[in-house]
Amino acid sequence: MLQIQYKNRKNGKIEIENIPGRGMLKWLYNKPLGRGALHVLFKRKFISVLGGWYMDTRWSKKRISSFVQGHGINLEECEISNVDKFGSFNDFFCRKLKKYARPIGDRLVSPADGKILVFPEITDLSSFFVKNSAFSLKSFLGSGALAQKYNGGSMAIIRLAPPDYHRYHFPASGTASGSTKIKGHYFSVSPLALQNSLKIFCENKREYCTLSSPLYGDILIVDVGATMVGSIIQTYSPNSEVKKGDEKGYFAFGGSTLALLFGENKVLFDNDLVANTKNGLETTICMGENIASKYPA
């Protein structure tokens, strides 16, 4: 089986990702019969809603201990550190962290825990996603005007795997607009799925808001749902002033993705993130870690 490698930012080592449901994903996205089942059944909303319903029940609690142990999740950094105190798997999945569990950096920071790719120019996406890599900003954003605004700009993609902390935050201080929803399907955003088509980002359910930052211009924050993500929950107040690191929202059970879009000549991504992406590797990241600086005047 194909292995998914990534760069661990803390120790500098290349590591292999432990992908939940790996066998099923390989079948769904790489086998003719599996692809048929994917389009007829698994991309549909009711499958994710049904899965989300189960994860909200008390019967799902029994899955928490083995999930924590299997993925080495550190519950000591969470507000609730005892698995018996969670009411359901989704209760655990949407867990909150202790106040200082994620230090907030002094520059532009990651909005979430996960694995990050950065593209100084949005056109660079095709160099990472080789297969069927057609990607249209207009299709992704559902707006020709927005596509024109960010054409020539840069982009960061943060992929949240099921074991990750699934609340996400603002990467900078500024004014946050309301959230615009775009209807879509519920394809997986696992790297096993994205290897076959980046168009998944243009087809999945998603929402976006604009964070108007004095330092980095208008940052478009796009929340992308995926298989088993029945809900994208916004917890911030629309059209309000926010501080860097403030919570923006959370994803219910499943893997999911955040995309950050910047105007031309607004940010300079950190060199290690750029180099890793050019080498075809995602980089581990924690919410609050520095990822970019203001573009020099």
User: Which one is catalytic: 164, 169, 231, 270?
Assistant: 169
181-186 mean pLDDT: 75
Contact (Cβ atoms closer than 8 angstroms) between residue 99 and residue 110: no
- In 3D space, the residue among 156, 173, 178, 160 whose CA is nearest the CA of residue 236 turns out to be 178
pLDDT band at 69 (very low <50, low <70, confident <90, very high): very high
Q: Any idea which residue has 């890793």 for tokens? A: 276
CA 89 to each of CA 3, 107, 151, 217, 253: distance values in angstroms, whole numbers, following the listed order: 28, 34, 40, 38, 8
Dist CA 134 CA 152 (whole Å):
16
pLDDT band at 227 (very low <50, low <70, confident <90, very high): low
pLDDT band at 47 (very low <50, low <70, confident <90, very high): very low
135-145 mean pLDDT: 85
Active site residue 169: yes
CB neighbour list of residue 154: distance below 8 Å, 6 or more residues apart = 118, 119, 120, 121, 122, 261, 262, 264, 266, 267, 269
Q: Give yes or no for residue 11 having a pLDDT over 60.
A: yes
Side-chain half-sphere CA neighbours of 292 within 13 A = 28
Give strand pairing partners of 78: 97
Q: Give yes or no for residue 198 having a pLDDT over 60.
A: no
Active site residue 113: yes
**Number of other residues whose CB lies within 10 A of the CB of residue 297:** 4
Contact (Cβ atoms closer than 8 angstroms) between residue 133 and residue 194: no
**Number of other residues whose CB lies within 10 A of the CB of residue 17:** 17
252-276 mean pLDDT: 92
User: Which one is catalytic: 56, 113, 164, 223?
Assistant: 113
φ and ψ at residue 259, rounded to 5 degrees: -120, 135
Question: Strand 290-294's sheet: what is its strand order?
Answer: 108-109, 290-294, 267-269
**Number of other residues whose CB lies within 10 A of the CB of residue 136:** 12
* pLDDT score of 125: 77
User: Which one is catalytic: 60, 88, 231, 256?
Assistant: 256
Q: What is the pLDDT of residues 257-266, one digit of tens each?
A: 899 999 999 9
Query: What does pTM read for this prediction?
Result: 0.85
Dist CA 277 CA 260 (whole Å):
15
pLDDT band at 43 (very low <50, low <70, confident <90, very high): very low
